[in-house]
Amino acid sequence: MDKKIIFSAIQPTGTFTLGNYLGALQNWVSLQDEYNCCYSIANMHALTVRQQAKDLRANTLNAYALLLAVGVDPQKSIAFIQSHVKCHAELNWVLSCYTQFGELSRMTQFKDKSARHPENVNAGLFTYPVLMAGDILLYQADFVPVGIDQKQHLELARNIAQRFNGIYGDVFTVPDGYYPKLTAKVMSLQDPTKKMSKSDDNPKSYITILDPPETIVKKIKSAVTDSEALVAYREGKDGVNNLMSIYSAVTGRTLEQITEEFAGHGYGDFKQKVGDALAESLRPIRERYAQLMKDRAYLEECYRDGARKAEGVSQRTLDKVYKKIGFLAR
Ligand code: TRP
């Protein structure tokens, strides 16, 4: 039987946080054997926020290198940069004519972002979920691993696909979300009731996957916990819970095993172990990334090859769409 198809994408926002890694990227890597995976650097989506050209260019390459560094295998999966495949822009236009203004107005991310940045409420910010729907539908994806923040966008992609299929027959696979049971939701180290985020003003609140070992240990040591001096996963112990789930994610140990391991130990000891284990588990990624960044030719070869493969798949879908909607063939 043919493998099912997975599509996902990540925006090139400088380096990725531990949250991006444990919550998404690590999972992308592990899906590669069981599924045909397509992973994209969503640099077109990144344009909805004002960017310095040279930063966007550098961040796109860095993000692509990180994708490979964490273990996305360009032989097994299609790893490409969104703007390299023109079908994305083209399908975006078509789908925008099958998406209602009212639907886009209801997107909570649009409402949040436009409220937070009233100085740049551009049309792209508004139609962003249509571009995202196109990304997914071009590859006829069966499953889309996304965080809950993208769930509403994925739901819209399903609605667009169903609507289009309702008019023209089965053109698109209707994608399902893929929400793995095991991925850790990584919280801020300084305010563990909030998600870990790079846009946090306090750099001590987040760890990036390229942080050097000393920095990682230092940040974990200064993580907010509580005054109970008890390593246990419980309601109200958000700081400790967060460190426990990070430790669990990097060592594979269960929460019970961790509780046992640290019975009778203070937080100092616990934090040292978490910091060391984390720094060690990110070491191969850091090393592989440094290696890749020294080999620009190899990276170029990979993203060109990825773009060619992505184009092959997506052009087929786009051709079908153009035919169905009545665009005269050239
Ligand atoms: N919008 C997603 C985010 O910001 C990134 C993204 C773009 C994406 N296209 C996608 C995710 C398609 C899943 C599928 O996280």
| CB-ligand 1 contact for 68 (6 Å cutoff) | no
Is pLDDT at 255 greater than 70 in this prediction? yes
Q: If you measure from the C-alpha of residue 229 to the centroid of ligand 1, how many angstroms do you get, rounded to a whole number?
A: 40
Ligand 1 atom index nearest CA of 45: 7
Establish whether 3 is a catalytic residue: no
Q: If you measure from the C-alpha of residue 65 to the centroid of ligand 1, how many angstroms do you get, rounded to a whole number?
A: 18
The share of the chain scoring above pLDDT 70, in percent, equals 99
Q: If you measure from the C-alpha of residue 26 to the centroid of ligand 1, how many angstroms do you get, rounded to a whole number?
A: 16
Task: Tell me the pLDDT tens digit for each residue of 51-91.
Answer: 999 999 999 999 999 999 999 999 999 999 999 999 999 99
Q: How confident is the model at residue 164 (pLDDT cuts 50, 70, 90)?
A: very high
| CB-ligand 1 contact for 46 (6 Å cutoff) | no
The H-or-E segment that residue 115 falls in is: helix 108-116
Task: Tell me the pLDDT tens digit for each residue of 176-221.
Answer: 999 876 667 899 999 999 999 988 889 999 999 999 999 999 999 9
Which two structure tokens, joined as six digits, stand for 308? 């060619």
| CB-ligand 1 contact for 136 (6 Å cutoff) | yes
| CB-ligand 1 contact for 36 (6 Å cutoff) | no
| Predicted TM-score (pTM) above 0.75 | yes
Per-residue pLDDT, 182: 63
Is pLDDT at 230 greater than 80 in this prediction? yes
Tally of CA atoms within 13 A in the half-sphere of 23 that contains its CB: 18
| CB-ligand 1 contact for 130 (6 Å cutoff) | no
| CB-ligand 1 contact for 11 (6 Å cutoff) | yes
Per-residue pLDDT, 163: 98
Per-residue pLDDT, 132: 98
Could you tell me the CA-to-CA distances from 250 to 54, 70, 245, 282, 290 in Å, in that order? 34, 13, 9, 9, 21
Which two structure tokens, joined as six digits, stand for 52? 């310095």
| CB-ligand 1 contact for 9 (6 Å cutoff) | yes
Which one is catalytic: 151, 198, 204, 324?
198
Q: Which of 144, 248, 239 is nearest to 194 (CA)?
A: 239
Establish whether 4 is a catalytic residue: no
Q: What residue owns the CA closest to ligand 1's atom 11?
A: 9
Establish whether 113 is a catalytic residue: yes
| CB-ligand 1 contact for 150 (6 Å cutoff) | yes
Which one is catalytic: 195, 237, 271, 273?
195
Q: What residue owns the CA closest to ligand 1's atom 3?
A: 10
Q: If you measure from the C-alpha of residue 146 to the centroid of ligand 1, how many angstroms do you get, rounded to a whole number?
A: 8
DSSP string, 214-279: HHHHHHHHT----SS------TT-HHHHHHHHHHHHHH---HHHHHHHTTT--HHHHHHHHHHHHH
Residue type, 139: Y
| CB-ligand 1 contact for 135 (6 Å cutoff) | yes
Ligand 1 atom index nearest CA of 153: 1
Task: Tell me the pLDDT tens digit for each residue of 99-110.
Answer: 999 999 999 999
Ligand 1 atom index nearest CA of 132: 9
Is pLDDT at 122 greater than 70 in this prediction? yes
Per-residue pLDDT, 62: 97
